[in-house]
Structure 1
Amino acid sequence: MPFFSLMLLFLPVLRAMKWLILIIPMSAVVGSLCALFLAALEAATHYRVAHPAILFLLPFAGVVTASIYFWFGGESERGNNLILEQIQKPYSGVPLRMAPLVLVSTVISHLFGASVGREGTAVQIGGSIASGFANLFKLSQEATRVLLISGIAAGFGAVFGTPVAGAIFGLEVIAIGKVDYLALVPALLASLIADWVCHAWGIHHTLYTVLFSGYSLRDEPPFHTNLILLAKVALCGVCFGLCSLVFSESTHRLGKFFKTICPKAWLRPVIGGTLTIIFVYLLDTRDYLGLGITAPEPNGASILNFFGPQSYPYSALIKILFTIVALASEFKGGEVTPLFFIGAALGNILSVWLNAPMDLLAAIGFMAVFAGASNTPIACTMMGIELFGAQNTVYLATGCFIAYLCSGHTGIYLSQQIFRSKIHTPVNLTEHPLRVTRQNLLWPFGRSDKTQHPSEK
């Protein structure tokens, strides 16, 4: 009996050791690949800015990467959605070749000027490496799910330098209205290790400064909640959510249109590349190419410049145009950093209209538009705290939560399942992916057509 009790005490220790043996090397690999990716991305961006004529090769570069995926990508073509489906119900696994394919393809996209991001690449690197470890150690389906979630967390945390948000994102992104606590500690451990390793390679992330820290009443210290400002933030949250909805649906619908007019996948980037070149010369600006964290010109439109003091009235709309064209024509990368740009730009101009602190609304928009598009309001709130500090947590949470609610039952990840509906609907949406529900709903008023929902059959 004492021996049996002793074994029961050691079981949690043995389980922890098992996860440490799996997660430490997996996260170190993901963190190293993210460091390589970020370094290559920075070099590609500098080269593009120094050699602007390279933009004319964008259609050709897109054809090259699309052809590689067409011939060698297989299931890798499905990107983040494949990883989400493997977590929900593991079957064939995530191909290991996804990691090098998406890394190289994303760097090429940025080198030649496509308006794409980097989160998708990091998540796919994490998911691919995690799946490779799961296959190597022949893990069960449940253990594979946990490791895939940890891989997502590692990639996200390392690429943005936000390990806590990375862990929560990995748990929250799987299903709308549900956080999977089974992988709580492994996800946090993976995200922390990947971030540490990325930093150990000499990678430094962008620093953002929000000076606003509350209004003072007479000689009292600043208080964290001002009702008038909170009302303005709530109104902006509605705008941010609607912006998320417009971005997500525009990307999906334009992608479907491009597939209709150009059935050959390897030729579609010609459309997006050509349109990007046309936009650049019509608008006479290169501010909307690539990530947009900094601008080629000192006062150009960029994420950092949106924090003040200059206003940029049309930047959010222009960046939406550039990004949906790039993503719909299947340039590789991600949506998140462009969403940061769009949200910060929208917050910038809303602050002028509402007479609110520009840096605060830019920071809230930065996170809230992504929260609405990814359906991850908790992760985005935590990411805002990690990037901007905790002094404005109430405003950040308000903007992210309202944007999540107002973005409707759609998003950038169509394989997300609905565990709990955002609003009451006459149709049962639970246990269906966004790919199904968005075809049967016109947010927020009901169905957009008379197609019968699968739950009613």
Structure 2
Amino acid sequence: MKDKIFTSEHFSILKHLLRWTFIIIPIAIVIGSTVAFFLWLLNFVIHFRFRNPYTLYFLPLAGVLIYFIYKLAGGNAEKGNNLIIDEIHEPGGGVPKRMAPIVLITTIITHLFGGSAGREGTAVQIGGSIAQMFGNWFGLNENDTSIVLMAGVAAGFGAVFGTPLTGAIFALEVLTLGRIQYNALLPCLIASVIGDVTVAAWGVHHTAYHIDVFIITPHWFSAWLPVDFVLLFKIIIASAAFGLASYLFAYMVHGIKTFFVKQVSVPWLIPVLGGLLIISITMLIGKPDYLSLGVDAEHAGAVTIPSAFQAGGADTWSWLWKTIYTTITLGTGFKGGEVTPLFYIGATLGNTLSVLMDAPVGLFAALGFIAVFAGATNTPLACTIMGVELFGGQYVLFFAVACFTAYFFSGHSGIYGAQRIGVPKITGSRFSDSATLSEAGNRRQNYVRHKMKKYGLWTRNKNK
């Protein structure tokens, strides 16, 4: 029998690749077009609020409107990104078609009235909802539907940030800590690239970021070692802080939501109180810098993500104010993503740390930008690639060190409670055998209560 250079396996592979290409392309085009419309509309309402700052005072009413939209028409779409993650792992009722228009409308409402939120969550939910719809039309089985949902996540993420490779890796990495879903590698890459190209074709552009060139101070060992280990040491210390900032953000989002649910018996009053808190804090600090996305400047000298890349472009506590604003907004029921606020928190914290550690401002802002996101989503590989796509490959080693360090220091926490724990960050950890981040969070709360009771800091009244 003669040996064959090409076997039947190669033709099966070719058939597999062509099949997924034809399935994914129309899905990604629709997702990219929807995301382009969302980004255009988002930009319009944000600048409308800039011209009409009084709209902030209607934020509590906007929160009530969002609550009743989900109450009357949302159904299980209220679970947002966690629903998509659950459906990818264990297909069940599916991602409803209404998720896309509802989250788009409610996110626009949040930003129109000044709520501090992002756009990634909306884009991912748009991607998941549209992907599920096409999967039903194509009559796909459960395994293929899971892959299509992952491709929808990749298309939405890649399209909303203009980072196609990051979008593909994010969709593969975000589902389970310590594992990557390689079975969806090609569909996710195609979807993310097509989604990004579609947004560009509609004439929607993304914010460009730039790290200023800096001179590395020579040390006595510089002639023998290609890496500035003094700077690297500073980056590791800063990245540990970035990871702790990620942990603080995730803890506060879940904690604020739990607190209000327990303390407020009338659900629609929760967004009212959240809106009033945002208004009060804004009046207290006397500037609107921490409202909405934080990308465009509402006034001259405003603290924004781009300004954080320059010396003096952020206040010392800008990162903490943005954390407070965003966790209150999302924790009290307003809609939008977490990622752009995480970019803001990371970039401004990097700006602050660069001053304290006598380090390059632009570099540290960029490291914080990607590392806080890496810690909060547990996606260090995707965020390292994001650093390359946004800032160039010159500092890829620093990007990797920052993202991996932040990933570990954020612990078993994150903004997606449905994320599975495949490989624990530290074996033997008290929370490492939890099935999901949500379960790890519950165990963490129970552990804290146990310690407080042990030392007499927890009473029956506090437990109600």
TM-score, scaled to structure 2: 0.92
- Equivalent position of 2:170 in the other structure: 169
| Contact 1:306 1:362 (8 Å CA) reproduced | yes
The Cα shift of 1:430 comes to 4.3
SS at match of 2:352: helix
Other structure's SS at 1:439 match: helix
Q: How many angstroms does 1:265 deviate by?
A: 3.4
Q: 2:425·2:432 contact (CA, 8 Å) conserved in 1?
A: no
Of residues 8-17 and 195-204 in structure 1, the stretch that sits farther from structure 2 once superposed is 8-17
Task: Check whether the contact 1:157–1:195 (CA below 8 A) recurs between aligned residues.
Answer: yes
* Alignment match, 1:127: 128
What code does the residue aligned with 1:189 have?
I
* Residues 281-320 of structure 1 mapped to structure 2, 5 A cutoff: 281-310=283-312, 311-320=314-323
Match of 2:346 among 322, 327, 343: 343
Equivalent residue number for residue 448 of structure 1: 448
Q: Could you tell me whether the CA contact under 8 Å between 1:339 and 1:366 is conserved in 2?
A: yes
Q: Taking structure 1 as reference, are residues 389 and 9 closer, same or farther at Cα in structure 2, changes over 3 Å only? A: closer
Q: CA deviation at 1:15?
A: 1.9
Match of residue 413 from structure 1: 416
Give the equivalent residue in structure 1 for 2:16.
Answer: 15
Give the 3 Å change call, closer, same or farther, for CA 217–103 of structure 1 in structure 2: same
Separation in 1 of the partners of 2:284 and 2:174?
Answer: 38
1:182-226, Cα deviation, whole Å (9 max, x unpaired): 1111100000000000100000000001023662759x99x9731
Query: Is 2:214–2:360's contact at 8 Å kept on the other side of the alignment?
Result: no
Going from structure 1 to structure 2, the CA distance change for 1:185 and 1:107 (only over 3 Å counts) comes to same
Q: Which residue of 2 aligns with 1:150?
A: 151
User: Does the 8 A contact of 1:214 with 1:224 survive in 2?
Assistant: no
Letter in 2 for 1:403: A
| Identity rate, percent | 45
CA contact (8 A) 1:70 1:265 kept: no
Inter-partner Cα distance in structure 2 for 1:124 and 1:70: 18
1:363 is aligned to 2:376: no
Q: Any unmatched runs of 5+ in structure 1?
A: 452-457
Change (3 A) 1:316 1:378: same
Instruction: Provide closer, same or farther for how the CA distance between residues 258 and 360 of structure 1 changes in structure 2, counting only shifts above 3 A.
Output: same
> What CA deviation, in whole Å up to 9, does each residue of 1:236-262 have, x standing for no partner?
011000111111001101110111122
SS in 2 for 1:448: helix
Indicate the residue corresponding to 2:262 in structure 1: 260
What is the CA-CA distance between 1:298 and the residue it aligns to?
2.0
CA distance in 2, matches of 1:232, 1:450: 37
**How far apart, CA to CA, are the structure 2 residues paired with 1:194 and 1:386?**
16
Contact 1:419 1:430 in 2 (8 A): no
Q: Which segments of 5 or more consecutive residues in structure 2 lack a partner in the other structure?
A: 452-464
In 2, distance between residues paired with 1:449 and 1:423?
A: 23
Query: Which residue of 2 is the match for residue 380 of structure 1?
Result: 383
**How far off its partner does 1:428 sit?**
7.0
CA contact (8 A) 1:316 1:341 kept: yes
Aligned to 1:398: 401
Q: Quick check: 1:213–1:392 contact (8 Å CA) kept in 2?
A: no
* 1:190 paired residue number: 191
Over the aligned positions, Cα root-mean-square deviation in angstroms equals 2.1
If the length of structure 1 is used for normalisation, what is the TM-score? Answer: 0.93
How many Å separate the matches in 1 of 2:53 and 2:199?
A: 30
Q: Tell me if the contact between 1:251 and 1:325 (Cα under 8 Å) persists in the aligned partners.
A: yes
| C-alpha displacement of 1:396 | 1.1
Q: Tell me, in whole angstroms, the C-alpha distance in 2 between the residues paired with 1:225 and 1:346.
A: 24
Are the counterparts in 2 of residues 27 and 151 from structure 1 also a CA contact under 8 Å? yes
Give, in angstroms, the shift of residue 329 of structure 1.
Answer: 0.5
Supply the distance in 1 between the matched residues of 2:132 and 2:377 (Cα, whole angstroms).
22
| Further displaced range: 347-356 or 429-438 | 429-438
Report the alpha carbon displacement of residue 30 of structure 1 after superposing the two structures with TM: 0.4
Shift of 1:10: 3.2
Deviations 1:69-113 (A, max 9, x none): 111000100000000000111111100110000011101110110
2:174–2:377 CA contact under 8 A, matched in 1: yes
- Cα distance in 2 between the residues matched to 1:342 and 1:314: 10
Task: Measure the CA separation in 1 of the matches of 2:9 and 2:347.
Answer: 52
CA positional deviation for 1:169? 0.3
Q: Which residue of 2 aligns with 1:454?
A: none
Which residue does 1:436 correspond to in 2?
439
Structure 1 counterpart of 2:155, one-letter code: A
Aligned to 2:100: 99
Q: Distance in 2 between matches of 1:426 and 1:102?
A: 36
Q: Secondary structure at the match of 2:444?
A: coil
Return the match for 1:233 from 218, 232, 235. Answer: 235
